[in-house]
Amino acid sequence: MANLRNGEVNRYRDGGDHWLVRPSTIRRLWAGFLVVLALTVLAEAVVPIKSYFGIGGWPGFAAAFGFLSCVLMVLLAKALGALLKRKDDYYDA
Amino acid sequence: MPEAWPPGLLLAVGAVLIGLLRGSARTTVVLIFPLLALWAVWQVPDGVADTAEFLGQVIEPVEGSPVRRLFATIFALMAFAGGLFSFRQAPWQELAAATLYAAAALGVCFAGDLISLFIWWEVMAIGSTVVVWCGDRPASRAAGLRYAVMHVIGGALLMAGIAAHAVATGSVDIVPMLASSPANWMILAGLLVNVAAPPVSAWLADAYPESSSTGAVFLSAYTTKAAVLALILLFPGEPVLRAVGTYMIFYGIVYALLENDARRILAYSIVNQVGFMVCAIGIGSQVAINGAAAHAFAHIIYKALLFMSAGVVVYRTGLQKCTDLGGLFRTMPLTAACGIIGALSISGFPLTSGFTTKTLISEAARGDGLVMLYFLLAAASAGVFLHAGIKFPWFVFFQKDSGLRPNDAPWNMAAAMLLFSFLCLFIGVYPQPLYALLPYPVDYDPYTPGNVLFYLQLLLFAGLAFFLMLPLMKRTLTITLDIDWFWRVALARLGAWALGALDAVASATGRMGRSRGGLLAGWARRHFGEDGAFSRSWPIGTTALWMALLLSGYVLIHYL
């Protein structure tokens, strides 16, 4: 491949078959991720999380809180987007 | 000879030299002067180093204290890393403007009085506006103009507030105050314009993404963080800041989630991160001020790193929309890796700088018994991982194969990214040197097993939420309207409507000869219509000339 100059883009394709994007790799990544997730919750049996304010001490609280607040924020963003999204040349038109 | 070299002035000399010199001499100045300024920062003693008389007030151009030195240190380091990142790619105008911008930020750090602060504040606005303009596209010129107008308004508020404050108290000294009088409110409002507080948060995401691939790196660092320092010095513990900061935190997350432009995602996340700092200043306890200062220090490093990573992508491909990008990890592994380190740091992942600094702020909320704020900050930490920590690297470097195979970063850009990646991890693993620089003693260990586990759960499950909801995150060719719609569209429409109404009146009365209405409409059209004196875009030179004339007129009248 010839050296690219500034800002020049080489659009040749190499089949896109990088090992990282193969379905088998992605399946393995998901499996590994789920195992790690489970471990972080199970670890609470050994490493107690100090509870500062009541519910903070429930097992798996941080996991549930992190997950649910993200779902909520994405839904909030979607709702706001439905109202406020415009084509990206809106201000140029 | 003054007791200490004013670091801001020193770096400003560098900015002038960049304009005067060529070739390797210029490069030397770009790289050496920030280091000289860093040396000068550490020569400034605690307390007022120098005083002078100006407009009948005693001003203190150089005053040192631990928190001022902390901000000045990272500003000088940033100028070095930014110079390293851009010296082979950026035009000299941008390098000079960015260096002047950094110099002004250093000036703000050591300003001992409100007048010195204001002067450096305005130099900062000028330097940064030129940096935006160096984006050198029609969009950057328009965005730069809107940016300049916003900062002129902010500066006017600040100036009016300072004048009223000086009249009321007879002093321009920088001392902690509360928003208890109209004068103090105006000062606060002027500062809040620069942190991109509501209702003017939009200027940041409007201007920064339109700058050049190198310019945004500088822009991400100075304006907002200099304002954070000013808030620490002037309004620690001002309760209003808690609400303002919380709004900024969630505004940044929600708008970044909807955004398609990769650098605008990063811009929104500046507002989000500065929101954490503003909140902490609103809490005002020693732990909170430590948290705001430490977080600002770490934030400048990882945010510049993120903008460097995005900047390399823009430099190599000329593209910055998520819909155009994807799969770049194949040929840009270094840029991707550095971007991921920045992304993990901004998310506050354990072993990164965000973890050892941002958790100080949560600790402050907990220490003051602010339950609601504590949980909001925890939710926001998860949200940061969502909107910046995963979204940015995912859509730029992974996602789909865009077919782009650009080369990785040029050596100087790579060196700057590696330097800041190292600092992100260093502060994450070994935060004690940073803690030692904070204004108050630190009695906090982020690495208790329970604390680490809490944040691991919080963040990893936020990651799970991201990938499960990926279909909802599909990028579209859209922007999201913001409050700036009111002045960018509604105001313009109102003006057009008013002219139309005048027109109607004119044509209705026109048959009766040159009536009053017709005259009015004609006058309005001459001055405000297309090519009218008030709607023409003036060259900067003409504007400067008019301002100079007005000023000299004022001075003349003053002395007569």
Note the ipTM here: 0.86
Which residues in chain B are closer than 8 Å to A86, comparing Cβ atoms? Answer: 478-481
Q: Is the dihedral of CA B265, B270, B271, B277 positive or negative?
A: positive
**Can you tell me the distance from the alpha carbon of B273 to that of B348, in angstroms, rounded to the nearest whole number?**
11
pLDDT at B425: 97
Q: Do B478 and A86 touch (CB under 8 A)?
A: yes
**Can you tell me the distance from the alpha carbon of A45 to that of A64, in angstroms, rounded to the nearest whole number?**
16
Instruction: Give the CA count within 13 Å in the CB-facing half-sphere of B509.
Output: 15
Amino acid at B330: R
**Can you tell me the distance from the alpha carbon of A53 to that of B366, in angstroms, rounded to the nearest whole number?**
9
pLDDT at B254 over 60: yes
Give the per-residue SS3 of B373-391: HHHHHHHHHHHHHHHHHHH
Average pLDDT over residues B39-60: 87
Amino acid at B56: G
Instruction: Locate B257 and state its tokens.
Output: 């989630």
Asked if B460 has any chain A CB less than 8 Å from its own CB, the reply is yes
Q: What are the φ and ψ backbone dihedral angles of B211, each rounded to 5 degrees?
A: -75, 175
Where are chain B's structural domains?
A: 1-228, 236-476, 485-559
Residues B191/B169, Cβ–Cβ less than 8 Å: no
Residues B189/B231, Cβ–Cβ less than 8 Å: no
Q: Do A53 and B375 touch (CB under 8 A)?
A: yes
Instruction: Locate B436 and state its tokens.
Output: 């030692």
**Can you tell me the distance from the alpha carbon of A10 to that of B317, in angstroms, rounded to the nearest whole number?**
9
Please tell me the distance in Å from A56's CA to the nearest CA on chain B. Answer: 9
Helix axis angle, B222-234 relative to B262-283, nearest 10°? 10
String of b and e for B280-315 (b: at least 16 CB within 10 Å)?
A: bbbbbbbbbbbbbbbbbbbbbbbbbbbbbbbbbbbb
Q: What are the φ and ψ backbone dihedral angles of B476, each rounded to 5 degrees?
A: -125, 160
Instruction: Locate B55 and state its tokens.
Output: 């407009």
Which residues in chain B are closer than 8 Å to A1, comparing Cβ atoms? Answer: 405
Instruction: Locate B287 and state its tokens.
Output: 């732990």
**Could you give the percent of chain A with pLDDT greater than 70?**
77
The DSSP 8-state label assigned to residue A50 in this structure reads P
**Can you tell me the distance from the alpha carbon of B65 to that of B109, in angstroms, rounded to the nearest whole number?**
9
**Can you tell me the distance from the alpha carbon of B62 to that of B183, in angstroms, rounded to the nearest whole number?**
24
* Chains A–B, number of C-beta pairs less than 8 Å apart: 168
**Can you tell me the distance from the alpha carbon of B161 to that of B229, in angstroms, rounded to the nearest whole number?**
18
Helices of type H across B138-201:
138-169, 182-194
The DSSP 8-state label assigned to residue A3 in this structure reads P
Q: Do B382 and A50 touch (CB under 8 A)?
A: no
Work out the burial of residue B153: count CB atoms within 10 Å of its CB; fewer than 13 is exposed, 13-18 middle, 19 or more buried. Answer: middle
pLDDT at B369: 87
Q: Which of B280, B309, B316 is nearest to B297 (CA)?
A: B280
pLDDT at B528 over 70: no
Q: Do A37 and B464 touch (CB under 8 A)?
A: yes
**Could you give the percent of chain A with pLDDT greater than 90?**
49
Lowest model confidence (mean pLDDT) among B117-121, B445-449, B526-530 = B526-530
Residues B38/B73, Cβ–Cβ less than 8 Å: yes
Q: Do A4 and B382 touch (CB under 8 A)?
A: no
Q: Do B472 and A78 touch (CB under 8 A)?
A: yes
In this prediction, residue A9 has a pLDDT band, given cuts at 50, 70 and 90, of: very low
pLDDT at B527 over 80: no
Give the nearest partner residue to A47 out of B315, B449, B476, using CB atoms. B449
* Average model confidence (pLDDT) across chain A: 81
pLDDT at A17 over 60: yes
**Can you tell me the distance from the alpha carbon of B14 to that of B29, in angstroms, rounded to the nearest whole number?**
6
In tens, the pLDDT along B162-213 reads 999 999 998 999 999 999 999 999 999 999 999 999 999 999 999 999 999 9
Please tell me the distance in Å from A41's CA to the nearest CA on chain B. Answer: 7
Instruction: Output B513 or B341, whichever has higher pLDDT.
Output: B341
Give the nearest partner residue to B406 out of A9, A62, A91, using CB atoms. A9
The β-bridge relationship of strands B57-64 and B47-54 is antiparallel
Residues B350/B450, Cβ–Cβ less than 8 Å: no
In this prediction, residue B134 has a pLDDT band, given cuts at 50, 70 and 90, of: very high
**Token pair 């803690």 in the structure block, residue:** B435
B89 SS3 class: coil
> Which residues are within 8 A (CB) of B224 and not within 5 positions of it... i.e. 6 or more apart?
B194, B195, B196, B204, B270, B274
For the entire predicted model, the pTM comes to 0.89
Instruction: Give the CA count within 13 Å in the CB-facing half-sphere of A77.
Output: 25
Which residues in chain B are closer than 8 Å to A43, comparing Cβ atoms? Answer: 453
Torsion of CA B236, B238, B240, B242, to 10 degrees: 50
pLDDT at A6: 43
Q: Which of B117, B126, B171 is nearest to B148 (CA)?
A: B126
Please tell me the distance in Å from A22's CA to the nearest CA on chain B. Answer: 12
Residue-by-residue DSSP string for B523-558? HHHHHHSTT-TTTSPPPHHHHHHHHHHHHHHHHHHH
**Can you tell me the distance from the alpha carbon of B356 to that of B359, in angstroms, rounded to the nearest whole number?**
6
In tens, the pLDDT along A41-63 reads 999 888 888 777 766 678 889 99
Residues B335/B417, Cβ–Cβ less than 8 Å: yes
Within chain B, what is the greatest distance between any pair of CA atoms?
87
For residue B50, the surrounding DSSP H or E stretch is: strand B47-54
> Which residues are within 8 A (CB) of B376 and not within 5 positions of it... i.e. 6 or more apart?
B246, B249
Average pLDDT over residues B19-27: 94
Residues B158/B187, Cβ–Cβ less than 8 Å: yes
Asked if A9 has any chain B CB less than 8 Å from its own CB, the reply is yes
Instruction: Locate B506 and state its tokens.
Output: 């004119």
In tens, the pLDDT along B392-427 reads 999 999 988 898 999 999 999 999 999 999 999 999
